[in-house]
Structure 1
Amino acid sequence: MKKIKLILAVITISLASCSDYLDVVPDNVATIEYAFRSRNEAEKYLFSCYSYRPEIGSVDLDPAMASDETFKRYGINGAGQVWQNTLIARGFQSLTSPILNTWDGENGSESAWRGIRECNIFLENIDLVPDLTETEKKRWIGEVKFLKAYYHFYLLKCYGPIPIVDENLPIYSKPQEVQIYREPVDEVFAYIVALLTESIEYLPNAVEVIEGTEAGRIDKLIALGVKAKVLTFAASPLFNGNTAYASMVDNKGVQLFPQQYDESKWLLAAEACKEAIDECHAQGKSLYDLVDPLVLDADPVFKLQTTYRQAITHRWNQELIWGNTRYNNNFLARSTTARIIRMENVNNAMTEYAPTLQFVEKYYSDNGVPIDEDIMWRSESWYQDRYKVRAEPAQEDEGKRIEEGKYTVNLHFNREPRFYASIGFDKGIYYGSGYYQFNDSQRNVKYADFLKGGVSGFQGGSGYSISGYSVKKLHSFKNAQTSTSISTEYFPFPILRLADLYLLYAETLNETSGPSDEVYHYIDLVRSRAGLTGVKESWSNYSINPNKPNTKEGLRAIIHQERAIELAFEGKRFWDIRRWKEIGVMNNQPKGWNVQGQTPEEFYKITLLPQIPVSFTIKDYFWPIKESNLAVNPNLIQNYGW
């Protein structure tokens, strides 16, 4: 494994973080020696290493927030307000000026290479600090080694094979010394895993991180969880025997993608997942199952829905392993919230982060199986007629999910609890947001109305959902709306939570040895929290394909759909469909309802959302390296297809 060095230069440090503890903006430093002359100055440099973290959870700047799950109304490149990540989702990635360019730090992204450079400077100089205890020094070293590994991993996800930057080069290096090569992906993965393993030795347990002053800093559980995820990526089809990228060979003749599939990589990933899960359990982590005091007396339907939402929005809860503090929580809430009362300014709750019709269909039936497999959905023609307005309005026993006496499409009836907890839809109940009474004597809950002119729908101006849906899941049910504003509860965005690890473990076990009781167990833990019966029971009783969970291929499809549903809108699917080599799903043109319709008959017409059809090919698994970089360094071969 060749370890590349970067040029060491005089730097200016800046920091942008939403965490109080990490929001320390150090003064400019003239020399490296000055930066490490005392503990306080060195701590500022530690924070600078954190400052290059990707803005995971940023609805406009995190590429993973723009998968096939959602679509934003600004459809033409350059027309109106443009979210950078939606340009990637529309297939507008650029060779000359790449969008969210993590390599160079342009067009909405920090440079991960600069972050790695800062980490190297820190590790090379931390021994110079005279007043730092050995315990604290080890912890800081562990944090920075983790960050260095994570920045390499993020670049690997974006670009595939990358250089390995283990040390910085002195400023007097010769030009040929800095004309670096991209390393084979297996070597990059091995380097990242080794660095993470080193960091784990020095990091504190999660319970030792002080929430009030240190929340957001790296601990042992984070490192173990990310290591499991890294090894899962290494085992996945995009990186494991990817013959589609056989032509990725550099000018030395080095093959950058392994051409032979290696099943043992799945076993390594499974072992890492289990190690992380066991340590999470040992340190008190569990699936979130608390009932908020506000809903202690509420109907069980609302308790289940709010508990699921709180797994995301209850800050630093027992399920969260790693939460991102570097994103705009208020903007996320405004972009996902449906208006449930009349507002003077519709942009206070924009609803522009809009789920697509195709993704809404991914949620299971109330029997816990896909709606196209559900026996009753087939026999009653609910699936065949899913886009039709039901002839009967919502009945009294359906009123906890859909407004009684109102009409909506068959697609919105008889769905699983996570559908009602996650998706705002026309005539659907919007429990919370200051309205909690739902009993025989009093009902003050609100409902969404996405028809044109409706309280949640198009009213002129820019604040509206292009699909006729909203994402309830990504804002707290305790946020409140008034005619002039919405109040939002802050929460760290979940980079990694325990349900994600459970499903990764199930996936890696299934790929290693096929269906087993242990695979079912970890899937069923997630399903049980969502109010569903186990996989085998659900498919046996309710699916037209009852043997699906009994084969590796069938269970793989179930796990993929379970991840899509459980982790919806959390930025996981973007990377999942890439590592699974399933980017073709992005070519299923995003659809929604006709939000200009003023009646149910007009509104419930399927409408194509893009003004220009989206198109993805094999090249779109990775970002291009900026064209000008290749002119400077011809050793950096371009990614396939660019």
Structure 2
Amino acid sequence: MKYINKTFIGLIMLLVSVGFVSCEKFLEEEPRGFLAPENFYENERDLFTALVGVYDALGTNSETFLARRLHYLTSLPAGETYTPTLSDQRLLANYTFTNDHADINRVWSSMYAGIVRANSVIHRGASVPMNEGLKQQYIGEACFLRALFYFYGLRLWGELPLIVNEVTSLGDVNVGRSSLKAVYEQIIADLEFGIQTVPPTNQEGRATLGAIKALLAKVYLTRASSAAGGPDDYQLCATLCNQVLDMPEHGLMPDYQLIFGPPNEFNRESLFEWQGDRKLSPLGEHSILGSFSLPRGIRIFPEQTASDGGSTVSTVAYFNLYDERDYRRESTFVYEGESFNGQWLSWEQFPTPYPAPCWKYVDRTATSRNDFAFCGNFIVLRLADVYLMRAEALNELEGPTDEAYSMINTIRERARNRNGNPTDFPQNLEGLDKDGFRDAVLLERAVELGFEGHRWFDLVRTKRLVATLKAIDSTLPVSEKHLLFPIPPDELLLNELITQNPDW
């Protein structure tokens, strides 16, 4: 059934609704009902509750945005994952989707829902009587979240309707698409404000100074190779990355497996992560990523049934990017295991014959199915990404300098630490020219950051999406038009000022 997109009507409803679902680590509070914004923002507690509503827009009920739908758009079309069981999502993996695909509509809708909530906090927050420093911090966090939503949207759709004021009528959202330059400038302005107002340490699951600087570095790195690119973008990226790496609050975890899973939430390497822990929110912001990526027919926890898992698997081509000697391979995939009749099977013999990319989104220590399958946070930004961004930016500026090698080799050195037992793989890189180093960084990002929401964006910004996928399957109908997703057709009907992306 076609998903009927009602974004703009929903935005207006959100405007008058302040019944935000609260994240339990932030604030335990009953919904406040339906109030006009001018009657709601009366004190610090009101502003904080509204801010929690913006965080809540990142994902709700294992369904919207980071909780589920965004991953379909960034993993399946990247040749990273495939779905044996979900027919609608298989269209994304096979590049047979059309402009009215339901997941594209849902991501667009939830993105703008988050932007509208952020706009309300930013606009109304200024007049709330409370401690000025804390007020500016809350507004800075909302600016970070608005920038994050717009940055995802810019990379998915290109030019976007830029809505930065509080929405009070349908006329406020019936605007045309702003230029890439204008959207980038708004994202940068929001993040620069956040840098001035958000502290380096904060409560778990909320923005920090390190997260904001890392996101801004990624914005500059992405803009550098776009039509809106500026001459200083690579240098700005490299400088911001260095500032984050110098922060005492952050550092690489000594073992790759210590980065992920509920026992390791909000560790020193994690800069920003979305809470998907069912233990905290049984009916709310839990993650379905672990459940979807469990291997079907292979028992890896006591309560697992033969039908569990298998909705999302790794493609064989992506799995083959990982050398069998690489510790990150066994830390990311289930590629062998015991069947329910006691046979030991390799992934080729699984009932769903693909490696399972589950280890980053499950609790290996859990004793129940729900705790095992529904408790993995989604890490939006972590420090290893910053090392690799700086390596890439330095190479684009000067070629593979000693500092650039140091960045990527630091990540490879950590990968050699297998449960405290050093190995000799992967070895440090050396002797590459600029093109070879660029290729090496892209491969390192694929292996280090697998299934963390970066692969599609990396292939698009480096202009390698079509060639990479065609090299795997020459019959795949992917083309240059797929570098951007289509604007949902319902939006075109609701807003005559919006135009469609080329060839859609």
Q: Does 1:572 align with 2:444?
A: no
2:365 maps to which residue?
478
Task: Quote the Cα distance in structure 2 between the aligned partners of 1:166 and 1:57.
Answer: 22
Deviation at 1:498, TM superposition (A): 0.5
Deviation at 1:59, TM superposition (A): 5.4
* CA RMSD, 1 decimal: 3.5
Q: Does 1:421 align with 2:421?
A: no
2:260 maps to which residue?
312
Residues 308-457 of structure 1 mapped to structure 2, 5 A cutoff: 308-313=256-261, 314-326=264-276, 331-338=288-295, 339-340=298-299, 346=305, 349-364=308-323, 415-426=325-336, 448-449=337-338, 454=343
Q: Does 1:503 align with 2:469?
A: no
Deviations 1:117-153 (A, max 9, x none): 22222222224433x2223212111111212222221
The code of the aligned residue for 2:477 comes to S
More helix by share: 2
Query: Is the CA contact 1:26–1:44 (under 8 Å) kept in the aligned structure 2?
Result: no
Q: 1:68 to 1:46 in 2, by over 3 A?
A: same
Task: Quote the Cα distance in structure 1 between the aligned partners of 2:100 and 2:124.
Answer: 37
Task: Quote the Cα distance in structure 1 between the aligned partners of 2:451 and 2:140.
Answer: 31
The code of the aligned residue for 2:93 comes to A
Alignment: residue pair count: 469
1:26 maps to which residue?
31
Residues 271-286 of structure 1 mapped to structure 2, 5 A cutoff: 271-278=239-246, 281-283=247-249, 285-286=250-251
Task: Quote the Cα distance in structure 1 between the aligned partners of 2:173 and 2:66.
Answer: 34
5+ residue gaps in structure 2? Answer: 1-9, 278-284, 417-422
Deviation at 1:205, TM superposition (A): 1.8
Deviations 1:538-592 (A, max 9, x none): 566xxxxxx5x2x1100011000000001111121122112212222334557xx
Task: Quote the Cα distance in structure 2 between the aligned partners of 1:621 and 1:167.
Answer: 29
Q: Does 1:224 align with 2:179?
A: no
Q: 1:263 to 1:127 in 2, by over 3 A?
A: closer
Q: 1:56 to 1:521 in 2, by over 3 A?
A: farther
SS of the equivalent of 1:34 reads helix
Deviations 1:170-223 (A, max 9, x none): 54x8x6x864222221221122111110111111222xx2xxxx3111121111
Residues 93-172 of structure 1 mapped to structure 2, 5 A cutoff: 93-101=97-105, 104-105=108-109, 110=110, 112-130=111-129, 132-168=130-166, 171=169
Query: Is the CA contact 1:225–1:273 (under 8 Å) kept in the aligned structure 2?
Result: yes
Task: Quote the Cα distance in structure 2 between the aligned partners of 1:341 and 1:189.
Answer: 44
Q: Does 1:522 align with 2:470?
A: no
1:559 maps to which residue?
441
The code of the aligned residue for 1:564 comes to A
The code of the aligned residue for 1:578 comes to V
The two structures have a TM-score, normalised by structure 2, of 0.82
Query: Is the CA contact 2:392–2:438 (under 8 Å) kept in the aligned structure 1?
Result: yes
Task: Quote the Cα distance in structure 2 between the aligned partners of 1:274 and 1:508.
Answer: 11
Query: Is the CA contact 2:41–2:125 (under 8 Å) kept in the aligned structure 1?
Result: yes
The two structures have a TM-score, normalised by structure 1, of 0.65
Q: 1:504 to 1:534 in 2, by over 3 A?
A: farther
1:630 maps to which residue?
492
Deviation at 1:115, TM superposition (A): 2.2
1:267 maps to which residue?
235
Query: Is the CA contact 2:69–2:106 (under 8 Å) kept in the aligned structure 1?
Result: no
Deviations 1:313-351 (A, max 9, x none): 211111111111157666333333443469786257424
Q: 1:420 to 1:159 in 2, by over 3 A?
A: same
Q: Does 1:583 align with 2:458?
A: no
Task: Quote the Cα distance in structure 1 between the aligned partners of 2:320 and 2:187.
Answer: 37
Deviations 1:380-420 (A, max 9, x none): xxxxxxxxxxxxxxxxxxxxxxxxxxxxxxxx5xx222223
Q: 1:143 to 1:472 in 2, by over 3 A?
A: closer
5+ residue gaps in structure 1? Answer: 1-5, 78-83, 241-257, 290-306, 365-411, 427-447, 541-546, 591-607
Task: Quote the Cα distance in structure 1 between the aligned partners of 2:164 and 2:357.
Answer: 44
Task: Quote the Cα distance in structure 2 between the aligned partners of 1:424 and 1:614.
Answer: 27
The code of the aligned residue for 1:502 comes to Y
Deviations 1:28-79 (A, max 9, x none): 22311221123333322222222222566645652324331221212644xx
Q: 192, 198, 203: which is aligned to 1:203?
A: 198
Q: 1:115 to 1:576 in 2, by over 3 A?
A: same
Q: 589, 597, 616: which is aligned to 2:478?
A: 616
SS of the equivalent of 1:167 reads coil
Task: Quote the Cα distance in structure 2 between the aligned partners of 1:491 and 1:235.
Answer: 33
SS of the equivalent of 1:286 reads coil
SS of the equivalent of 2:105 reads coil
Q: Which moved more, 1:269-278 or 1:521-530?
A: 269-278
Task: Quote the Cα distance in structure 2 between the aligned partners of 1:487 and 1:75.
Answer: 22
Q: Which moved more, 1:517-526 or 1:116-125?
A: 116-125
Task: Quote the Cα distance in structure 2 between the aligned partners of 1:331 and 1:530.
Answer: 27
Deviation at 1:103, TM superposition (A): 6.6
Query: Is the CA contact 1:8–1:169 (under 8 Å) kept in the aligned structure 2?
Result: yes
Task: Quote the Cα distance in structure 2 between the aligned partners of 1:476 and 1:14.
Answer: 31
Deviation at 1:169, TM superposition (A): 5.8
Deviation at 1:423, TM superposition (A): 2.5
Task: Quote the Cα distance in structure 2 between the aligned partners of 1:334 and 1:75.
Answer: 14
Task: Quote the Cα distance in structure 2 between the aligned partners of 1:351 and 1:271.
Answer: 42
Task: Quote the Cα distance in structure 2 between the aligned partners of 1:7 and 1:288.
Answer: 41
For the pair shown, the structure with the greater C-alpha radius of gyration is 1
SS of the equivalent of 2:164 reads strand
Q: 1:571 to 1:21 in 2, by over 3 A?
A: same
Task: Quote the Cα distance in structure 2 between the aligned partners of 1:200 and 1:490.
Answer: 30
Task: Quote the Cα distance in structure 2 between the aligned partners of 1:524 and 1:497.
Answer: 17
Deviation at 1:450, TM superposition (A): 6.7
Query: Is the CA contact 1:355–1:471 (under 8 Å) kept in the aligned structure 2?
Result: no
SS of the equivalent of 2:178 reads coil
The code of the aligned residue for 1:360 comes to F
The code of the aligned residue for 1:317 comes to N
Task: Quote the Cα distance in structure 2 between the aligned partners of 1:178 and 1:69.
Answer: 35
Task: Quote the Cα distance in structure 1 between the aligned partners of 2:377 and 2:190.
Answer: 25
1:369 maps to which residue?
none
Deviation at 1:233, TM superposition (A): 1.0
Percent identity over the alignment is 23
SS of the equivalent of 1:496 reads strand
Q: Does 1:53 align with 2:58?
A: yes
